[in-house]
Structures are given as structure tokens and as C-alpha cells.
């Protein structure tokens, strides 16, 4: 069988990443994290695009070097078309288009959220179709019914904030630096989740809502700090454990409902929040109780990475699904 060598670029938010996939195996996956946003408490879009411009050539060059191949060995170039920050997407998109043009090879557009789901096809064990994937990131919270590699349907979504936002906004209220999700996870492991009770939304069907929880945490902290200005410092671990437990419970409740409704027992999680230790443990426990086969990506493939773009592109390559060089980049993009 001839070799299929692909270079994939991911630049939808604040990480610049490049990966090489050879015959469906990820042989390199490099990520340049942008530290510049920490001091601002969130991603500054203009700065993100400037950083991508600086990082993209060295990251892509290094990905090829690590894979031990040259530009001429590539059969196609893949990139994240959307959704994401427009300026960030444009840097990766223009770079990929220019490479495809210069090397005279096909271009493959990839949907960022589909790629989070297909990160499950990088390593073993791989889920069997059809499966359900709870995709939880900084911008999205979705339950996806995955019928085939490129045939997916969103059966539940958030009507306001994403789960990652709930983590990051809580962290901001606790005066933790951005991105706060991993820090909440770290402190939660030392705390008592039963200490504080937070409200859970009553939303019909498989949709989610996290804005009520955010307001609940804000009012709770304001009230407690009035009585004790050191309330956060003295109770940080328990606050983190209690908020994390609430978020995980909201997510697991709807995922269980989706499994019951569809009768599917192949259950996966993906996206940045799937790196959360509370969520990973909860899924494993629920899986044992309900007789599900559960799938959790390796840490490096949970948060944004080009490996997931490359594996998606590989399945598009097998179907010869290429795109035109003038395909528009989209900040908002449906499946
Ligand atoms: O998928 P991702 O890297 O980027 C987007 O597509 O948005 O997800 C980033 C989100 C952020 O909200 C970050 O705080 C959250 O994932 N996150 C976590 C953890 N690691 C990353 N949230 C909770 N616990 C973690 N360990
Ligand atoms: Zn993402």
C-alpha cells in the first residue's frame, strides 16, 4: 500500500499545533502554548493571531523533522477551518493553503469539534460505531451521536455557557490565573465536594445550561466574603471540589439520559474538559454501573492539538474529500 503522509495544522484558539500522520498513525504532534494571555485572565484574540504568526513555521518544521520526512514527502495538508477565533484560524488556514499551493498537493478542511471526537481513533482502544461522545471544551458542550467517522449528529448542546467556561469563570472569581480549569481540578483533589451545595439547572431533553451555576457561585462568594474577607483562601479546596462535583454531575446526568434514550453503550468523552480528573473518574464509575464501554483520550489529545486534526484528515483523505484552495475560513461552523 502506498504511504499516505499528511501534515495537519491547528490554530483555532491560543495553541499553535502541527502534527504528521503516516498511514493513520500520528508520528509527531507539537504544540506551542501561548503564555502571553495569562496576565489578561483570558485569550486576547489579536495577541493570539500574532503569536500564531510567530510560531507556525517553527512548529510545522519541527513536526516534519520529528516525523523524519521532508515537505516533498507530503500527500496532503490539513487545517482547522472552524469554529474558533477568526484571526487565529486565518493564520493556520493561510499557511496550509499556501503549502498546498506550493507543493501542488490536496488541501483538507477539518471541523474542530469533529476532530475532538475523532481523537479517539488515534490510540487503542477505539470506540465502535455508533457511539456517544460528550465533547466538552472552552467553547462547546455537546452530546454527539457518532454514526461513522464523518457522520455525526449533535443531540444535546448548551443553551448558554460551555462547561469549560463554567470552570474558567469560577476560577476567575476565585482569583486563579487563566485557564483556570486545570487549577480547579488540582485544588478539587484536595477538597471535600460535599461541603458546599450549588444549584443544578432543570432543562428538558439533552441540553445543558451553566449560566445559573455561574451566578450561584458569584452570589455565594459575595455573601461569604462579606462575613469573612479570607473566605476564598481558607476554603479554596472545598469550593473547587464542590463546584467541580456540580459541573461533573450536570454533565453525567445528561450523558446517562442520552445513553438510555439511544440504547447505546459505547460512551466517550473528548475536548479540553475531558482532561478533568473528576470527570474521568465519574465516567469510569458510571460505565461500570451501567455496563458501558467507556473511552477517554490520552491527556495530550484532550486539549487542542493537531494530532486530532490529522486523524480526521486521514479519514477524509481515504474518501478523497478535499477542498478548494479558496474555501472560506469560518469562526462559526456547523457539522
Ligand atoms: O478543547 P480545548 O483545549 O479548547 C477549546 O476548544 O475550547 O478546551 C479548553 C478548556 C478550557 O476551558 C480549560 O479550562 C478546560 O478545557 N480544561 C479543564 C482541564 N483541562 C483543560 N477543565 C477542567 N479540568 C481540567 N483538568
Ligand atoms: Zn478544542
Q: Supply the CATH number for residue 15's domain.
A: 3.30.420.40
Check pLDDT > 80 for residue 139: yes
pLDDT score at 110: 98
pLDDT score at 36: 87
Check pLDDT > 60 for residue 32: yes
% of the chain surpassing 90 pLDDT:
95
Give a yes or no: residue 273 inside a domain: yes
Pocket of ligand 1, candidates 80, 113, 138: which has the most ligand atoms within 8 Å of its Cβ, to mutate?
138
Are 153 and 264 contained in the same domain?
Answer: yes
Give a yes or no: residue 332 inside a domain: no
Q: What is the pLDDT of residues 163-182, one digit of tens each?
A: 999 999 999 999 999 889 99
- Pairwise CA distance, residues 85 & 45, whole Å: 7
Q: What is the 3-state secondary structure (H, E, C) of the chain?
A: CCCCEEEEEECCCCEEEEEEEECCEEEEEEEEECHHHHHHCCCCHHHHHHHHHHHHHHHHHHHHHHHCCCHHHCCEEEEEEECCCHHHHHHHHHHHHHHHHHHCCCEEEEEHHHHHHHHHHCCCCCCCCCEEEEEECCCCEEEEEEEECCEEEEEEEECCCCHHHHHHHHHHHCCCCCCCHHHHHHHHCCCCCCCCCCCCCCCCCCCECCHHHHHHHHHHHHHHHHHCCCHHHHHHHHHHHHHHHHHHHHHHHHHHHHHHHHCCCEEEEECHHHHCHHHHHHHHHHHHHHCCEEECCCHHHCCCCHHHHHHHHHHHHHCCCCECCCCCCCCCCCC
CB count, 10 Å around CB of 319? 9
Check pLDDT > 60 for residue 70: yes
Shortest CA distance to 279 belongs to which of 292, 265, 264, 269?
Answer: 269
Are 107 and 34 contained in the same domain?
Answer: yes
Check pLDDT > 90 for residue 38: no
Give a yes or no: residue 198 inside a domain: yes
For the record, the C-alpha cell of 24 comes out as: 493513520
CA 234 – ligand 2 centroid, Å: 33
Are 133 and 70 contained in the same domain?
Answer: no
Ligand 1 in contact with 181 (CB < 6 A)? yes
Are 183 and 160 contained in the same domain?
Answer: yes
Check pLDDT > 60 for residue 1: no
Ligand 1 in contact with 13 (CB < 6 A)? yes
Residue having the nearest C-alpha atom to atom 21 of ligand 1: 272
Give a yes or no: residue 49 inside a domain: yes
- Tell me the pLDDT band of 335, cut-offs 50, 70 and 90: confident
Check pLDDT > 90 for residue 303: yes
What domain range is 63 assigned to? 5-117+304-318
Are 85 and 184 contained in the same domain?
Answer: no
Q: Mean pLDDT throughout 218-234?
A: 98
Are 165 and 282 contained in the same domain?
Answer: yes
Give a yes or no: residue 201 inside a domain: yes
Are 110 and 138 contained in the same domain?
Answer: no
Give a yes or no: residue 335 inside a domain: no
Are 48 and 106 contained in the same domain?
Answer: yes
Residue 266 β-bridge partners: 293
Check pLDDT > 90 for residue 53: yes
By the 8 A CB rule, do 125 and 295 touch?
Answer: yes
- Tell me the pLDDT band of 39, cut-offs 50, 70 and 90: confident
- Pairwise CA distance, residues 86 & 81, whole Å: 10
- Pairwise CA distance, residues 183 & 185, whole Å: 5
For the record, the C-alpha cell of 226 comes out as: 462579606
Are 98 and 184 contained in the same domain?
Answer: no
- Tell me the pLDDT band of 42, cut-offs 50, 70 and 90: confident
- Tell me the pLDDT band of 2, cut-offs 50, 70 and 90: low
Ligand 1 in contact with 304 (CB < 6 A)? yes
Ligand 1 in contact with 11 (CB < 6 A)? no
pLDDT score at 228: 98
Give a yes or no: residue 323 inside a domain: no
Q: Mean pLDDT throughout 232-247?
A: 98
CA 122 – ligand 1 centroid, Å: 19
Are 60 and 169 contained in the same domain?
Answer: no
Q: What is the mean pLDDT of the chain?
A: 97
More confident residue, 69 or 36: 69
The total number of structural domains that make up the chain: 2
CA 13 – ligand 2 centroid, Å: 8
Give a yes or no: residue 156 inside a domain: yes
Check pLDDT > 90 for residue 244: yes
pLDDT score at 282: 98
Are 148 and 284 contained in the same domain?
Answer: yes
Are 79 and 129 contained in the same domain?
Answer: no
pLDDT score at 176: 95
Amino acid at each position: 500500500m502506498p504511504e499516505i503522509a499528511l501534515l495537519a495544522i491547528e490554530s483555532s484558539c491560543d495553541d499553535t499545533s502541527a502534527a504528521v500522520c503516516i498511514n493513520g498513525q500520528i508520528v509527531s504532534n507539537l504544540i506551542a502554548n501561548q503564555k502571553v494571555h495569562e496576565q489578561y485572565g483570558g485569550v486576547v484574540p489579536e495577541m493570539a493571531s500574532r503569536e500564531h504568526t510567530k510560531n507556525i513555521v517553527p512548529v510545522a518544521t519541527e513536526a516534519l523533522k520529528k516525523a523524519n520526512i521532508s515537505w516533498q514527502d507530503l500527500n496532503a495538508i490539513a487545517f482547522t477551518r472552524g469554529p474558533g477565533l477568526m484571526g487565529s484560524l486565518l493564520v493556520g488556514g493561510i499557511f496550509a493553503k499556501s503549502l498546498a499551493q506550493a507543493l501542488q498537493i490536496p488541501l483538507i478542511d477539518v471541523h474542530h469539534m469533529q476532530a475532538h471526537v475523532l481523537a479517539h481513533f488515534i490510540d487503542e482502544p477505539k470506540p465502535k460505531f455508533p457511539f456517544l461522545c460528550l465533547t466538552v471544551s472552552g467553547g462547546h458542550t455537546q452530546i454527539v451521536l457518532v454514526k461513522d467517522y464523518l457522520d455525526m449528529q449533535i443531540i444535546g448542546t448548551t443553551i448558554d455557557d460551555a462547561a469549560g467556561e463554567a470552570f474558567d469563570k469560577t476560577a476567575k472569581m476565585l482569583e486563579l490565573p487563566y485557564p483556570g480549569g486545570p487549577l480547579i481540578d488540582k485544588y478539587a483533589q484536595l477538597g471535600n465536594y460535599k461541603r458546599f451545595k450549588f444549584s443544578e439547572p432543570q432543562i428538558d431533553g439533552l441540553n445543558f445550561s451553566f449560566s445559573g451555576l455561574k451566578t450561584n457561585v458569584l452570589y455565594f462568594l459575595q455573601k461569604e466574603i462579606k462575613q469573612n474577607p479570607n473566605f476564598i483562601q481558607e476554603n479554596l479546596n472545598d469550593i473547587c471540589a464542590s463546584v467541580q462535583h456540580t459541573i461533573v454531575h450536570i454533565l453525567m446526568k445528561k450523558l446517562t439520559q442520552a445513553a438510555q434514550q439511544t440504547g447505546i453503550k459505547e460512551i466517550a468523552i473528548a475536548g479540553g474538559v475531558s482532561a478533568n480528573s473528576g470527570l474521568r473518574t465519574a465516567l469510569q464509575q458510571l460505565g461500570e454501573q451501567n455496563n458501558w464501554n467507556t473511552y477517554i483520550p490520552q491527556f495530550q489529545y484532550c486539549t487542542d492539538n493537531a494530532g486530532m486534526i490529522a486523524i480526521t484528515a486521514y479519514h477524509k483523505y481515504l474518501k478523497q474529500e478535499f477542498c478548494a484552495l479558496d474555501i472560506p475560513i469560518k469562526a462559526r461552523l456547523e457539522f
